[in-house]
Amino acid sequence: MTIFIRMRKLSILLATLLLVFVTASATPTDGWTLFPAYHNCIFNQPAADRVYALYDGNLLSYSPADSEVRQLTKLTGLSDKSVSLMGYSTTQRCLVLVYANANIDLLFDNGHIVNIPQLKTGSDGTAALNALNVSGDWAALATSTGVVVIDLKKREVKGSYVLGTNCRAAAIFNGAIFAARNRALTYCLLSDNPSDATRWQTARSETALQLMPFAGRLFYSSAAGLYALKGSPAAGNLTVSQLSASVFTSFYADAQKAVFANASEVDVCEATNPDHLSSYAASASWKQVSRANNGTFWVTTSDGQLQAYKLSGSAFQAVETSIGGYGPKRDLCYYMSYVGPRLLVAGGRLDPYDRVHYPATLMTYENSRWSSFQESGVATQTGVVYRDITSVIQDPADASHHFATSTTGLYEFRNQQFSKYYSNDNAALQSAVPDGNKRYIRLDGLSYDKQGNLWMVNNQVDTVLRVLLADGSWAKVYSPSLRMAPTLERTLIDGNNNLWVASRRTVSNHVSGLLCLNFNSTPANLSDDVERYRSTALNEDGTRVDLQSVYALAQDRSGWLWVGTASGVFVVEKPADWFKENFTITQVKVPRNDGTNYADYLLANVPVSSVAVDGANRKWLGTYGSGLYLVSPDGTKILAHFTAAQTPLLSDNIYSLAVNSETGEVMIGTDAGLCSYQGKATRPYEKLDEQQVKVYPNPVRPDYHGNVTITGLTENSEVKVMTTGGQVVASGQSLGGSFVWNACNQNGQRVATGVYYILVVTADADSGIVAKVAVI
């Protein structure tokens, strides 16, 4: 009966309504997007008709012929993330890529990729990767413990030779492996037994900095200059001649020329006359120089630019615009949050030992465009080092107004330009050291309360809670539970206007846990404050559970508070009960569904580092070491599990999560950079309005094989996709404010070309709309 009533209403609506469909890009909605940073070029390598460049581990290729730029990532077939070293084999016509984790890819000119995982799987990760030289069919990798030889023709690791000392560089020359070690250039024949350290001989008793075979010689640099070694290692008749007293830091060679460069000069020699160098003046900013087959010199500069030059007489002239400047500024994304369609990203974090620091990374992403806040000149204006941005927040009353915390104080921005610096000189902020040094004003955890007061945590001081009041004055809120606490990061203002503070680190004078403060909406009045701090709690079964090392906080659409800890994830179903003596915390159980009544605790003992809630009230749970989980609204079902090994997820170590409520896109911040997964749930609307409903892509073209997404719906709307003849090809309920159709009929076959009606009715059958989508 219900279905009949709804369909009768839809019949009337169908005759009277016509929804104008929205055309969008034909990118599959149920997929991955990677956001590598291409701003700081550190190395370039010409290969065939392209130039490859590394930007802090991210690979990009550029075609000078048509100015085409390609981002090369796991989505395009690479096996891993974070390339450390690369070189090109002209005989095998492949680019050799060595990743930071010792994985190896061979990227051939035709686009084919071959993975060589032996070194990664056999490595304990302790050896540093120092240098790579590719010559002919061989690649030699110098590490902090020895040399790895790769046979490119056989596409395998020939051997990994532990020499017991650091190797600065390595190369294959005239049938022998050469290794640049401390105060010794040594070699061993490939046909000998390089695994036996006694088989290695010394060619020169000096420290070589670079090694490169070219034109029957092995070129190397030392503190005394540039040298060429020639002869037969097997015969032992090696001779050395010095070509220059200059110390070169950049070596490059192709079949015709070799290029040597430093900050003042670029020297070039021909394969037909390798003992003669032609010298040209270089810029002090030049860091690395290579040469393409067409004679173009490609220069990597100290400020991260990639620029092409031509030799004009005896001088270099720039011939093309610099390559790069794409994507986010850096692969740093420890903190993220959405404000409407705008993503806010802060890249730094608090290092409790003050040993690791991060560039001042503060970014937004909106309408497919990345933008960075001012960095240059901030330290000059404040007189304090500008780094380690730990959190960022947008003024709820002014979208152009932002605040950011750091390890050196609070920074205010207007229109992404630095506006004001707050420290212990002009605000109620405090340094963690007795002398008041501003370098130790360790702030984090920005949150606005309902009255527009800005809360933050001031780590490692007596009174850690500080508030910039809406009137511009300051308040300090003393919490005995948090006195002198370190590494307080996340805060949250819940629906009751209470403040939650997560403590992630236990030290001698503080046990980590979770605080809730009811400040009665009067942060300047401490007399009416009530707080409760817990490091343990009883779960629903009466078992005491550990709430130490709290990493993440999120309140869902039902008002439940989800808490990510080192021990797993917990739920405070009634936040107001936190203050009660008989409080119990929920440790969600996932039924085994194996015919028994047994269940397992959700992610028990899995460190849950981040929590985000999507439009359907489902939970996205990021972890340290186990990737990303999607669970049902109550957590009793694991709907999906994403790992770096099985998906394009960049890393299994998740720092932060944020969901775009309008599109369903889940932004995932990892220790290897930023990526996203296109979820299927968006924010539901209160009322069904044809002006807010969108269908995309529309039309659905023959080469598109992804989903059709309908957004702007109310929660639990009933949706039917029908032919013009009234045949139902798909039906279901909206997920949050979205419905996803795979453009197939109920038998799983792609539908025929034509126009399809999308009939939508609210859950109470009170209203409905009709949309159209064209399949061509």
Whole-angstrom Cα distance, residue 153 to residue 134?
12
Beginning with the edge strand found earlier in the chain, give each strand of the sheet holding 544-546 in spatial order. Answer: 544-546, 536-539, 584-585
Q: How many C-beta neighbours within 10 Å does residue 703 have?
A: 6
State whether residue 58 is helix, strand or coil: strand
Whole-angstrom Cα distance, residue 167 to residue 163?
8
Q: CB-side exposure of 756: number of CA atoms within 13 Å?
A: 30
Strand residues in 3-80 grouped as ranges (E):
32-35, 41-47, 50-55, 58-63, 68-72
Whole-angstrom Cα distance, residue 387 to residue 375?
9
What is residue 31's predicted lDDT score, i.e. its pLDDT?
87
SS3 content of the chain, % helix, strand, coil (to 5): 5, 50, 45
The token pair that represents 688 in the structure block: 């069904």
Contacts of 331 (CB under 8 A, 6+ apart): 36, 37, 56, 57, 58, 672, 673, 674
State whether residue 9 is helix, strand or coil: helix
> What is the DSSP code string of 711-776?
ESPBTT-EEEEEETTS-EEEEEE-BBTEEEE-SB-TTSPBPPSEEEEEEEE-TTSS-EEEEEEEE-
Contact call for residues 604 and 595 (beta carbons, < 8 A): no
* Phi-psi region at 521: left, alpha or beta (left = phi > 0; alpha = psi -120 to 50): left
Contact call for residues 682 and 738 (beta carbons, < 8 A): yes
Whole-angstrom Cα distance, residue 548 to residue 607?
11
Contact call for residues 525 and 531 (beta carbons, < 8 A): no
Flag residues of the chain having pLDDT under 70: 1-30
What is residue 516's predicted lDDT score, i.e. its pLDDT?
99
Q: For 69, which DSSP code?
A: E
Tokens 């001031």 -> residue:
458
pLDDT (tens digit per residue) in 340-366: 999 999 999 998 788 899 999 999 999
Domains parsed from the chain with CATH numbers:
2-29+687-775 (2.60.40.3080), 327-532 (2.130.10.10), 535-679 (2.130.10.10)
Strands 536-539 and 584-585: parallel
Q: How many C-beta neighbours within 10 Å does residue 646 have?
A: 9
Contacts of 417 (CB under 8 A, 6+ apart): 373, 374
Whole-angstrom Cα distance, residue 706 to residue 527?
58
What is residue 122's predicted lDDT score, i.e. its pLDDT?
86
The model's pTM is 0.91
